Homo-oligomer: A and B are copies of this chain.
Amino acid sequence: MMSALIFCEVNVSRLSISARQRLYHYLFDLKTRSGRRFEGLCGLFALLSVIIIFVESGAGTQYHLTFDEWHVFVWLELMVTLVFTGEYLLRLFCWPNPAKYVFSFWGFIDLATILPLYVMWLWPEISLDYVFAWRAMRAIRVLRILKLLRFMPSLRVFWQAIMSARHQLVLFYSFIAIVMIVFGALMYLIEGPKYGFTTLNASVYWAIVTVTTVGYGDITPHTPLGRIVASVLILIGYSVIAIPTGLITTHMSSAFQKRQFERRCPNCQQRGHENSARYCNRCGNELPD
């Protein structure tokens, strides 16, 4: 694989720059129709490959697969890996700045999710011997789902809302963390290791599960005093449950308004376009993202 990469790099330097640019423009530039289509194709393929992994994972536990049935999944995975390897090499080849791509979030995800099969091929003794390694490879392959995040540019607004509310969120979560640690310590003291409050860590985990009203029930108070303390913690959690959402939604609506105000048509300078608008409603010019 290393040699293939070097070979590819050598080839790149020999090709004219314009060919790379044309390929980039054709395949990866989201402003062209073909670029958007290729992007959609890659996304669909990633989704399909994840569905195959889930089917494989479910089938492997429920039924005893015959050797032939396992072969189907191995061949499917081989095909998927080859396609994604091709996509990765194409991106490396076409990108204006390949190093930047390799060390970006997307480059890391694209590389990591094609590695499992190569690792299994190069060091077969790992995947045969260790159950953990087998699980790890399956878990890594599922991360292909992260490629779909490319289709959600609107999440940027959500992220901006979290960023602008970060002071209040940090304050709120710090306070809740202190409450949870204090109540965790109290319950560790009162209940003891008999009913699951074995360590301070387990007690704080219990407090998190309780305050957020998840309530698994794997660790629960059994002494009268413990139940009273737990009830107090539950009522505190009940009273503050909607505060983080309130903070995020308030900041999200102002982030939407801000974006609406700031986005300006590069042609006629008009502001106030809808967030979902892609063309200026006065002069028809394309709007910046």
Chain B, residue nearest A246 (CB): B249
Q: Does A218 contact B (CB under 8 A)?
A: yes
Residues in B with CB closer than 8 Å to A202 are: 227
Q: Does A188 contact B (CB under 8 A)?
A: yes
Whether A54 and B244, one on each chain, are in contact in the complex, defined by CB atoms closer than 8 angstroms, is: no
Whether B152 and A175, one on each chain, are in contact in the complex, defined by CB atoms closer than 8 angstroms, is: yes
Q: Does A30 contact B (CB under 8 A)?
A: no
Whether B224 and A215, one on each chain, are in contact in the complex, defined by CB atoms closer than 8 angstroms, is: no
If A132-B192, A242-B249, A243-B248 touch, does A235 touch B212 (CB 8 Å cutoff)?
yes
Whether A248 and B240, one on each chain, are in contact in the complex, defined by CB atoms closer than 8 angstroms, is: yes
Closest Cβ of chain B: how far from A233's Cβ, in Å?
10
Bound together, the chains give a CA A158 to CA B155 distance in angstroms of 26
Bound together, the chains give a CA A202 to CA B226 distance in angstroms of 11
If A135-B192, A138-B188, A139-B186 touch, does A227 touch B246 (CB 8 Å cutoff)?
no
Q: Does A149 contact B (CB under 8 A)?
A: yes
Whether A216 and B220, one on each chain, are in contact in the complex, defined by CB atoms closer than 8 angstroms, is: yes
Q: Which of B155, B173, B175, B245 interacts with A243 by CB under 8 Å?
A: B245
Residues in B with CB closer than 8 Å to A220 are: 216, 218
Bound together, the chains give a CA A9 to CA B208 distance in angstroms of 44
C-beta contact mask, A226-251 vs B, less than 8 Å → 1, else 0?
01001100110111111111101100
Residues in B with CB closer than 8 Å to A242 are: 242, 245-246, 249
Q: What 19 new A-B contacts, CB under 8 Å, besides A139-B200, A216-B220, A238-B244?
A: A50-B181, A54-B201, A139-B185, A139-B186, A142-B184, A142-B185, A143-B185, A145-B182, A148-B178, A152-B175, A155-B175, A169-B239, A201-B224, A205-B231, A209-B234, A212-B213, A212-B235, A217-B218, A239-B244
